[in-house]
Structures are given as structure tokens and as C-alpha cells.
Amino acid sequence: MKLNNLLALNAVVALAFGIAFLLFPGTTLSLYGATPGPQIDLTGQLFGVELIHVGLLAWLIRNVADGLAQRAIILAFLIGDAFGLVISLIGTISGVLNPLGWSAVVIYAVLSLGYAYFQFMRPRPS
């Protein structure tokens, strides 16, 4: 696996979900068990904006070759996705999210494992 492929995957997933949350926040969040309302809509739209931010960032930096920049990118995405994994897991296990919450758990787990590979397992060029 190449880092640019992982970043491209991250970009596509984040942009797809980000656009859905931005344009259809109540509908998208209701799929996960949230009760629609103005506060939920606003929260969903703000989440969508941040997913678009992450998606654009992942897409635009996917070909960065500088080793120091790559390490910073990998660490930032690893930490963010690890937190997303923990929060989505807690939300799903506790019943705050319905069973569709497992999709968020899987997405964050795959991304976390991918970035963990690049952070800890992949040999660094000397």
C-alpha cells in the first residue's frame, strides 16, 4: 500500500460523507438514529464542513514527498481517526447510534490501521 492511495481513499470517503452531511444533515443523521431538528441539522452541517476540510486536505497532500511533512500528516490523521474510532465505538455500543454506527467504526478502524502502518511499521527512507 502507498501513502498516496490511503490519502486518496480518505479523501473520497470524507468528501462523500461531508457533502451528504452538509446538504442533507437531518436525513443523513436520521440514518444513524438521530432525531431531526434545527440543532441536529446545524451540528450535521458543521460536521459536514469538517469532513470536507479533511477530504480536501487529504486529496491535496496525497503526493507530498517531503519526509518530515509525511510524518506530520500521518501522525495527525492517525490521531484524528483513532479518536473517531473510539467515539464512534462508544456511541454504537452504548446505543446512541443505531446499528449503522458500525459503518463509522469500520471506516475509522480501516483508516486508523492504515495510518498506524505508515507510522509504526513501514520502513522510513534514510
Q: Residue 17's pLDDT is what? A: 98
Q: Is the separation of the CB atoms in 55 and 81 below 8 Å? A: no
pLDDT digits (tens, 9 = 90+) for 77-93: 999 999 999 999 999 99
pLDDT one-digit tens code per residue, 67-76: 999 999 999 9
SS (H, E, C) the chain: CCHHHHHHHHHHHHHHHHHHHHHCHHHHHHHCCCCCCHHHHHHHHHHHHHHHHHHHHHHHCCCCCCHHHHHHHHHHHHHHHHHHHHHHHHHHHCCCCCCCHHHHHHHHHHHHHHHHHHHHHCCCCC
Q: What is the pLDDT of residue 126?
A: 45
What is the chain's pLDDT, residue by residue, as a tens digit (126 residues)?
A: 899 999 999 999 999 999 999 999 999 999 999 998 999 999 999 999 999 999 999 999 999 999 999 999 999 999 999 999 999 999 999 999 999 999 999 999 999 999 999 999 976 654
62 touches 7 (CB < 8 A):
yes
**For the chain, which residues make up each domain, given as ranges?**
3-121
